[in-house]
Structure formats: structure tokens, C-alpha cells
Amino acid sequence: MSLNKEEILKIANLAKLELSAEEIAAFPSQLSDILAYFDKLTSLNLKNVEPFISELNQQKVLLRTDEVGASDASIKDQFVKVESDYLVVPQVLARFDARQAKK
């Protein structure tokens, strides 16, 4: 499967990646190789292969029960900004703007 520049740019935009001109030039062949490898994987005959079952799935995992309680007031001292009872942290993710994604 061959990908063109527009498809590479669309994939990069969906993944929120900023690509250099060199990366845009290299990615079509690299992504095509990856997709070809997946095609090989889908053609494997797995009829006689037993499903892998993790040992964790075999054991009963005991989890503690959730208990509602008062929070430790000293944690507020570790935050730069506290508003009422809310701990304020810097924004780490950008807001998604659908209008910008269409460009």
C-alpha cells in the first residue's frame, strides 16, 4: 500500500505530530512497510495455536474496597494554587478544535 503526502499529513494531524520535510518524505515508505507487515500477520494460519491466557487472568485478584474518607489537608500545601477545596494544576493537554482539524 502506497501512501501519498496528503495521507501522511492527515495521519500526522490526527496524531498531533509536527513533521519536518525530511520526515514527510521518509514516512510514506516506512508506513507502507509497516502496513505490509500487518498484511503478513493477518495471513498467518493460527488454527492450531492455543490462545495465550495470562496467569493474572487465571488468579482471582483481590482488590481493596474503596472507602470514602476525609482527604489529607497537608496535600494542599504541596500545590502552588488551591481554589476553595480544588487543587489547580497547569494545563497539560491542548483543547481540541474541530475547525482546526479540518485544515
**pLDDT per position in the chain (103 positions), as tens?**
678 899 999 999 999 999 999 999 999 999 989 999 999 999 999 899 888 776 666 666 677 888 888 777 788 888 889 898 888 988 888 776 666 666 5
Residue type (1 letter), 8: I
Residue 82 near residue 88 (C-beta atoms within 8 A): yes
Residue 29 half-sphere exposure, CB side, CA atoms within 13 Å?
4
CATH 1.10.287 assigned to domain 1-46? The reply is: no
Residue type, 67: E
Task: Kindly give, in sequence order, each residue whose CB lies less than 8 Å from that of residue 89, ignoring residues fewer than 6 positions away.
Answer: 79
Task: Tell me how crowded residue 6 is: count the other CB atoms within 10 A of its CB.
Answer: 8
